[in-house]
Structure 1
């Protein structure tokens, strides 16, 4: 059985034990005072009187907590609440005196009114202090509960905001890639209809993979590479013999967790500012390995340069969104930077905290591009 004090519950035996301890503490004080008096009262009488006094407050404590909740002393109405609590403290204390007097008549030869007078004379002042002590305890419990609730709510809202921002960034990448690919297909329609048809088929397969893929923010590296291969197949068909791709992956990082679609915008950026803007051939290399607690992914191309601001021909939406997603997911534990390759080329270096992703919780792999 539990006693409910406002929004807090406490076991009955613990509750009674607490009030018994208070009663015995005051019994000790009364015993010390009684030792200086002649004649002195028996110890059993002192214990009985103290238990009656404090058990009366034990019975009324839930009422005090309810009054504290109903008439709070805060906000713009704090003076009104203070006046209400003052009246409530006097009335509740008088009720405690009446309750104590009623119980005392069962053990004392004197009548009810005589006992009530004794309780009012001896215990009314400390009774008012008891009420305000219980009121302060209720306010402290409510304050800490409200603080914990607000912190939990703030944490939940922050998580939802971060997830919303990540989802927005993720959905921005897909239309951006789709627009560029459709533009390339339109360009090839007049030049090479077979290539344009093949690109449409690969694009439909890639879009199907996007729609059917796991809707989380992270996927295993092996699945990310499968999605990337669909994209690279489209770009190899577009640029034909001018574009070469190489992918080097250490076997122990295939199950590493990476942000979904993190490689596609980086590779798209390398192709756009490399072979897409410069004549000649280009080679795009993807190197994935583990160094200590970090997953290292390098995307290199050899037909682009960095401008004075350290960007590969500009600052596209792909790289900026990738940086924002990494900041939301990993904070300062991840990084993305562009380095110049001598004599020509640019390397995009991605560093992520290494963590294996349990693929059993994910749906089946997307089909690899034929």
Structure 2
């Protein structure tokens, strides 16, 4: 995903050209109408004179826009303000004498009327005010665009971060688990072909779930449970009776949406570090309950348990660490993993996801 550049240079667009032409036409017509009404000048003459006036003004404003808005778009506001102070005076003087010159060249000054030259100071001041208003509006619009680009960039970065977190979690299927499973399949191909076929099917289902959920930010809890059961069936094939599993899940939460593969690292950690190292094995108990305004997840094992030097807050292990970071970013600090001893032995890992 590409992010928008915050200091993007203002561009000439079709929409911008159409809006400029529209406001130029409206301003010209209103000015011509006002001139006709106040000075009793035929509308066609007022329109021709006003078109010359606004055309020169537009030409100079476009030049100023290219210089101060487009070319110097990365300059500080103070630099732009100082330049506008100088440019506004040059613009006003250049417009006034350009208009006199062009009007004399096309129509003749005798048709302009003495009021224009007699009120030179007021007319130039009015033009100066028009310059200030036009470029104040332009800079306000550009500032709003910059704010919108910043908001868009922040949203895109947040979305990118979320997708990367999910992708990291989905990549947590431990390579050792894959190697062990493939070795078990290889050992069963000749002696137990039916078991080998079942293991291949389950491994295929796991990989398909991982791929299918890649672009999803959430999945139903029921799908996650099926994925975990498939994983545990493969591990039971390898560990045999040493691995026992019990589920205690409320039926009411099975359609609750959760980030995909959020529970698998916890279960894998319990198998790998809790049950597998013990010759006698142990039991994994997966509990998912809804209480008040949250769904509580617990993975408890009767395995090796926490060592004396273990510090739960460290969330040792890449899988648990990534899971904890994702939970905190998505649901806040209260959703963080809690790792504690499971009495009478083993380890218990829990977290909660708010329902609203």
Q: Is the 8 A contact 2:170 2:214 kept in 1?
A: no
Deviation at 1:233, TM superposition (A): 0.7
- Secondary structure of 1:315 counterpart: coil
The answer on whether the counterparts of 1:257 and 1:354 sit within 8 Å (CA) in structure 2 is: no
**Partner of residue 301, structure 1:** 301
8 A contact 1:228–1:264 mirrored in 2: yes
Instruction: Name 2:93's counterpart in structure 1.
Output: 90
CA offsets, 1:197-237, max 9 Å, x none? 24344223322333344631321000011111111111122
Aligned 8 A contact 1:302 1:344 in 2: yes
Normalization by structure 2: what TM-score?
A: 0.72
Mapped to 1, the partners of 2:15 and 2:88 lie a distance apart of 17
Is 2:129 the counterpart of 1:133?
Answer: no
Q: 2:219 matched to which residue of 1?
A: 219
Alignment of 1:43-54 (within 5 A): none
Do the aligned residues in 2 keep the contact of 1:6 with 1:69 (CA within 8 Å)?
Answer: no
- Give the equivalent residue in structure 1 for 2:183: 186
Contact 1:297 1:350 in 2 (8 A): yes
Match of 1:340 in 2: 341
- Find the residue that maps to 2:304 and give its secondary structure: coil
Counterparts in 2 of 1:141 and 1:168: CA distance versus 1, 3 Å: same
**Contact residue 166 and residue 259 of structure 2 kept, 8 A:** no
Whether 2:66 is the aligned partner of 1:70: answer yes
RMSD of equivalent CA atoms: 4.5
Gapped regions of structure 2 (runs ≥ 5) = 1-13
Aligned length: 326
SS of 2:164's equivalent?
A: helix
Query: Residue by residue, what CA displacement relative to the aligned partner does 1:76-98 show, whole Å, maximum 9, x if unpaired?
Result: 69589656554333223445678
In 1, the alpha carbon distance for the partners of 2:314 and 2:238 equals: 21
SS at match of 2:123: helix
Aligned counterparts of 2:319 and 2:301: Cα–Cα separation in 1: 16
Supply the distance in 2 between the matched residues of 1:315 and 1:193 (Cα, whole angstroms): 39
Task: Write out aligned runs for 1:287-326 (5 A).
Answer: 287-307=287-307, 308-311=309-312, 315-326=316-327
**Structure 1 residues 215, 145: closer, same or farther in 2, change over 3 A?**
closer
Q: Is 2:286–2:298's contact at 8 Å kept on the other side of the alignment?
A: yes
- The runs of at least 4 aligned residues of structure 1 exceeding 6 Å deviation read 10-13, 51-61, 96-102
Change (3 A) 1:86 1:170: farther
Which residue of 1 is the match for residue 286 of structure 2?
Answer: 286
Q: C-alpha distance in 1, partners of 2:349/2:218?
A: 20
The one-character-per-residue Cα deviations of 1:237-271 (angstroms, maximum 9, x if unpaired) are: 22222221111211111111111112221111111
Structure 1 residues 324-366: Cα deviation after superposition (integer angstroms, max 9, x where no partner): 33234334352211121222122111211226xxxxxxxxxxx
Aligned equivalents of 2:101, 2:256: Cα separation in 1: 72
Deviations 1:85-119 (A, max 9, x none): 543332234456789999xx9xxxx7426344224
**Mapped partners of 1:154, 1:167: distance in 2:** 20
Does the CA-based 8 Å contact 1:335-1:352 persist in structure 2?
Answer: no
Structure 2 distance, partners of 1:214, 1:312, is 29
Q: More displaced, 232-241 or 84-93?
A: 84-93
Q: Normalising to structure 1: TM-score of the pair?
A: 0.69
1:101–1:119 Cα contact (<8 Å) kept? no
